[in-house]
Chain A
Amino acid sequence: MTFSWSQAVAWLPVLPLAAAALVPIVAQRNARAAGGFTFVVTLLTAALAVALTIRLVAEGPLTVHLGGWVAPYGIELRFDRLGAWSAPLATFFALVVPFAWRYLEGSVPRERWAAFYALMLLNLGGLIGFSLTVDLFNLFLAMEVVSISSYALVAVAGRGTAAWAALKYLLLGSVSSLLVLFAVALLFALTGSLNLFDVAARLAASEPSPAATLALASLAVAFVVKAALFPLHVWLPDAHAIAPSPVSAVLSGLVVKIGIVGLVRVMQLAGESGIALDVFSELLMLLGAVAIVMGAFLAIFQDDIKLMLAYSTISNIGYIVLGLGLAVPFAVSGALVHVFNHALIKVTLFLAAGSIIHQTGLRTLTDLRGVGRTLPQTCAAMTLGAMAIVGLPPTAGFISKWYIGLGAFSAGRVAYGFALVFGALFVFIYYVRMLNTFYFQRATREEVVAAVEPPWSMRGPVIALAAACLIVGLFGGILLAFITPAVGELLAAMGS
């Protein structure tokens, strides 16, 4: 059998999914080996995705029809500039999994390790599938794989309120899933097709119908819930804070982005089928701006460092949604770059916070006074991450803020521009408190004084990610150049 690039695209989601089934077998002999196995799988997936991305830049997008059935009947996977999101996805997993090796020892019972690693791989497979498929039913399927594995991952630590947080997450998640299923069914009934671009073409050819608008609206609402856009965010903070830190990193950095990728798909669908999005865009901008301020505002009152990070995700989703809603080149590019940047920063922050919690056993600011002196490297990484999330130059967060803001001002939306620029200041209030407690206050707990830096399997990923926050900030132009053609197509389709 000879190698072909199209096969590689098909393998990308299949590899982690298939490996997930093998994890329990590996774990039967040795629970630790399951961790190693999972790491190798994520690394392979990442290598494959990166190779595909390099090929993409050189030769252009790649379309695969699974089983040889051509669209609109077969299932179509597309590795284009949006699908290239799977490369960072897999890379982040390859950094989170080694972090989890030692972290699990303190927080998850040994007999559940196999389940943890299997769920992580399922989650990765689902996320990659979601970003590659242009088949609406498969979109739904991938979303369900991601959602169900996420619920289980939240509950995996199995302590106290974890089950309750997972249930809350599940309830709102199911509403969102039902809405997607409803919309997909409606679109299928209207057009007799499931391929996104085929559906769009058929909608464009037929008379405009309220049913199509309804279908698009329910898709949009479903994805907005998934993205935890304020005020539909209520499920997020508890779920993200209670889960074990590697899970928090994945949920907060990567899984919420399903909602964003979904929104981009809705924009594509609407654009290609000629349904006007003006009202929808206005709403996205407004909600985005409100989310930026409210997410940051709510974060101020948290004492638990992981809850604070969870609320800041809500604020950052606000940036992205505002950028998408503005629908001008700079803003949409900035928003899509921020999908990546926020993932990078949030994974950094959650893993750093996880290290601190793992090494001290404490998680509130009040208890963690003076921890910067005993865990200098971890806290330095956390500081860098905090600067990036606030959007201080020259870190990764600044690049996205700069371009979304530029989009807002060049579109003449001065008020949104100011909301964006000043919303981040609220976030900063909290992070200053955090830095003060870490560095400028004396330790009050013995655990803090006695703490030592975590093992290298945890420290390595954290330091690498923190360094990336800075490097991406300096070379953010590359990301922007990468995503701009896709944005051009999207906006051209939307006719704005």
Chain B
Amino acid sequence: MEVLDLRPLLAPLVSFACAALVVVARKNVFWRRFWSLCAAVLKLVVVLSMLPGTLAGAVYHTPVITLSPGVSIAFRADAYGLFFALVTSTLWVVTTIYAIGYMERAEQRARFFGFFAVCVSTTVGIAFAENLLTLLIFFELLTVATYPLVVHAETPEALRAGRIYLTYTMAGGAFVLAGSLMTLSAAGTLSFAHAGILGLDAGRATLAVIFMALVIGFGVKAAIMPLHGWLPIAMVAPTPVSALLHAVAVVKAGVFGITRVIYNVFGADLLGELGFASYLGALAACTILVASVMALRQDQLKRRLAYSTISQLAVAVLAASLLTPLAALAAVVHLANQAFAKITMFFGTGAVREMTGKTHASQLAGIGRQMPYTMGAFTVAALSFVGLPLFAGFKTKWYLSLGALHADAWWFLVVMLLSSLLNAAYWFPIIHRAYYGQRVAQPERSGRRQGAGLDVDRDAAGATAASAGGKREAPLVLLVPTLICAAYVILLGTTAAVPGMPTSIALIAVYETFGLAGPVR
């Protein structure tokens, strides 16, 4: 049942207000931290408060401005939107804590935390968008708001990365705009509906152009190959940004957009008849494998993470394009599964870099003895990606495989198996080296934290040679968020059938979309 409620609007507004307060607080460290944390928690509370209602079948909606008949800015928190919002706002809380620790000595922190808040705000706006126009507005705002975070270091390298990032994403935005306009002129409305809003009467050619425009547009952010070029380059951003934005907010916004297009603009029935989704599925399958092979070849940890992200996102896109309920369920839960596991890895990588200055997989010999908790969390995430039972990633693989079998697409099982093997091939060596590898005696680049006592200048710290022996775990402000995320990975993997847990919302989302009354087959 539809319920008029202000909360779908309130959730994005909370972090916009936070951004304003952070800018006002500027130099005052305490208030800046206070407002950042306060807004993160408040937003989570707002989103959580909608959970009981959604589980009971309510859909909250907030109309804001009507531009012309059929075109409006409006918010609507259906189960799928709420699921996505829940993932981002939970992760915002942990990432804010991590970022406060990580960015301690960085410059322009007011700008950083301000735009950080705007990004989360736009992500929730995307989650709760009632129609394509609202989605597009927040999609473009997200692009604009992430730019200052990508170029945060202000180095020529960062500026170049920023340029490439903008070129890709602005072009993507233009495709979404064109696709939305064509949808509006073909369907007369932009509001998402469970059965889709387009019909066969629009003509097969027109529908093909619309599908391509929208999928390319959202596909840029979802980094489907060959539209993925910006993601590894954007890894120049500070770690919390890479973690939240390039593992969760930005890329997931792309996947979310694609699922909305598939299920709520076209509708599973229409797409099944048209057969466009199978091309998308094939592309996604290629992306899964190619990106995994690329990840194998990366030594720099953040780049390996980036390619792994590309591969994981394609899993969600593949799941969505199979058009069966169980595969759709896989696409939904994968949003959370991948997000928590990937953010754990980013946090771990950031902590290692912070403590030891090491950024490459080949340098990590012995790091597991040095930072046992951090690497423990990292291991949990890696096991989840490989898809071991009891870890979150297993559930994606399970549902996706079942969904693929329902769709008579057995070859996707082969893809999933290969993907698991490849994941094992690029994560396990790191873990093995971290726990069993012998450190080569060589002068190492020290981390920022070691050099900090001697000199304040960040660049000079790199030159200071320091031995990194014994146990030196990351400070709690970095470690606790990492461990929370790792715990979540296990939680998601073990509580699939527990009512009230994220999976149950995902189930409701799938019931809604496919118009099912009972449990998914």
Binding site for B on A (CB under 8 A): 387, 392-394, 398-399, 401-402, 405-406, 408-410, 414, 417-418, 421-422, 424-425, 428, 432, 436, 439-442, 474-477, 480-481
What separation, in Å, do the CA atoms of A477 and B85 have in the docked complex? Answer: 29
Evaluate contact between A392 and B65: CB separation under 8 angstroms. no
Closest to A433 in B: B163
One of B171-179, B325-333, B367-375 at the interface: B171-179
Binding site for A on B (CB under 8 A): 65-68, 73, 133, 136-137, 140-141, 144, 148, 151, 154, 159, 162-163, 166, 170-171, 174, 177-178, 181-182, 184-185, 209
Evaluate contact between B65 and A410: CB separation under 8 angstroms. no
Could you list some 17 contacts between A and B, CB below 8 A?
A387-B144, A393-B141, A399-B67, A408-B181, A409-B178, A410-B185, A414-B182, A414-B209, A418-B178, A432-B163, A432-B166, A439-B148, A441-B154, A474-B65, A477-B66, A477-B67, A480-B67
- Known contacts A393-B137, A394-B137, A439-B148; A475 and B65 CB within 8 A of each other: yes
Q: What is the distance, in angstroms, from B145's C-beta to the closest C-beta of chain A?
A: 11
What separation, in Å, do the CA atoms of A63 and B297 have in the docked complex? Answer: 77
Out of B159, B166, B177, which one reaches A421, CB within 8 Å?
A: B177
Task: Knowing that A399-B67, A408-B181, A480-B68 touch, tell me 18 more A-B residue pairs with CB under 8 angstroms.
Answer: A387-B144, A393-B141, A394-B73, A401-B177, A405-B181, A409-B184, A417-B178, A417-B181, A421-B174, A422-B171, A422-B178, A425-B170, A425-B171, A440-B159, A440-B162, A441-B159, A477-B66, A477-B68
Closest to A477 in B: B67
Interface of B is mostly: helix
What separation, in Å, do the CA atoms of A432 and B166 have in the docked complex? Answer: 9
Q: Which residues of B contact A387 (CB under 8 A)?
A: 144
Q: Lowest 9 CB-CB distances: which A-B pairs, in order?
A: A410-B185, A393-B137, A477-B67, A409-B185, A421-B178, A405-B181, A409-B181, A421-B174, A440-B154
Interface of A is mostly: helix
Q: Which residues of A contact B73 (CB under 8 A)?
A: 394, 474
Q: Which residues of A contact B136 (CB under 8 A)?
A: 393
Q: What is the distance, in angstroms, from B143's C-beta to the closest C-beta of chain A?
A: 8
Evaluate contact between B140 and A393: CB separation under 8 angstroms. yes
Q: Which residues of A contact B174 (CB under 8 A)?
A: 421-422, 424-425
What separation, in Å, do the CA atoms of A436 and B148 have in the docked complex? Answer: 9
What separation, in Å, do the CA atoms of A148 and B184 have in the docked complex? Answer: 46
What separation, in Å, do the CA atoms of A22 and B162 have in the docked complex? Answer: 55
What separation, in Å, do the CA atoms of A398 and B173 have in the docked complex? Answer: 12
Q: What is the distance, in angstroms, from A53's C-beta to the closest C-beta of chain B?
A: 21
Out of A392, A410, A425, which one reaches B140, CB within 8 Å?
A: A392
Q: Which residues of A contact B66 (CB under 8 A)?
A: 477
Q: What is the distance, in angstroms, from B83's C-beta to the closest C-beta of chain A?
A: 25
Q: Which residues of B contact A475 (CB under 8 A)?
A: 65
What separation, in Å, do the CA atoms of A393 and B137 have in the docked complex? Answer: 5
Evaluate contact between A428 and B166: CB separation under 8 angstroms. yes
Q: What is the distance, in angstroms, from A80's C-beta to the closest C-beta of chain B?
A: 22
Evaluate contact between B181 and A476: CB separation under 8 angstroms. no
What separation, in Å, do the CA atoms of A382 and B162 have in the docked complex? Answer: 20
Closest to B153 in A: A440
Evaluate contact between A477 and B185: CB separation under 8 angstroms. no
Q: What is the distance, in angstroms, from A486's C-beta to the closest C-beta of chain B?
A: 16
Q: Which residues of B contact A414 (CB under 8 A)?
A: 182, 209
Out of A409, A425, A428, A441, which one reaches B182, CB within 8 Å?
A: A409
Q: What is the distance, in angstroms, from B218's C-beta to the closest C-beta of chain A?
A: 15
Q: Which residues of B contact A439 (CB under 8 A)?
A: 148
Q: What is the distance, in angstroms, from B243's C-beta to the closest C-beta of chain A?
A: 22
Q: Which residues of A contact B133 (CB under 8 A)?
A: 393
Q: What is the distance, in angstroms, from B107's C-beta to the closest C-beta of chain A?
A: 11
The residue among B66, B162, B182 with the most chain A CB atoms within 10 A of its own CB is: B182
What separation, in Å, do the CA atoms of A401 and B140 have in the docked complex? Answer: 14
Evaluate contact between B148 and A405: CB separation under 8 angstroms. no
Q: Which residues of A contact B170 (CB under 8 A)?
A: 425, 428
Q: What is the distance, in angstroms, from B456's C-beta to the closest C-beta of chain A?
A: 18
Evaluate contact between B67 and A406: CB separation under 8 angstroms. no
What separation, in Å, do the CA atoms of A436 and B170 have in the docked complex? Answer: 16
Q: Which residues of A contact B184 (CB under 8 A)?
A: 406, 409
Evaluate contact between B178 and A405: CB separation under 8 angstroms. yes
What separation, in Å, do the CA atoms of A393 and B209 have in the docked complex? Answer: 23
What separation, in Å, do the CA atoms of A418 and B216 have in the docked complex? Answer: 14
Out of A440, A442, A480, which one reaches B151, CB within 8 Å?
A: A440
Q: What is the distance, in angstroms, from B470's C-beta to the closest C-beta of chain A?
A: 40
Q: Which residues of A contact B65 (CB under 8 A)?
A: 474-475, 477
- Known contacts A439-B148, A440-B159, A480-B68; A406 and B181 CB within 8 A of each other: yes
The residue among B65, B148, B170, B181 with the most chain A CB atoms within 10 A of its own CB is: B181
- Known contacts A394-B137, A428-B170, A480-B68; A436 and B159 CB within 8 A of each other: yes
Closest to A441 in B: B154
What separation, in Å, do the CA atoms of A392 and B68 have in the docked complex? Answer: 19
Q: What is the distance, in angstroms, from A380's C-beta to the closest C-beta of chain B?
A: 10
Q: What is the distance, in angstroms, from B467's C-beta to the closest C-beta of chain A?
A: 35
What separation, in Å, do the CA atoms of A402 and B144 have in the docked complex? Answer: 19
Closest to A405 in B: B181
Q: What is the distance, in angstroms, from B274's C-beta to the closest C-beta of chain A?
A: 19
Q: Which residues of B contact A440 (CB under 8 A)?
A: 148, 151, 154, 159, 162
Q: What is the distance, in angstroms, from A418's C-beta to the closest C-beta of chain B?
A: 6
What separation, in Å, do the CA atoms of A441 and B156 have in the docked complex? Answer: 9
What separation, in Å, do the CA atoms of A434 and B170 have in the docked complex? Answer: 16
What separation, in Å, do the CA atoms of A405 and B148 have in the docked complex? Answer: 29
Evaluate contact between A405 and B177: CB separation under 8 angstroms. yes
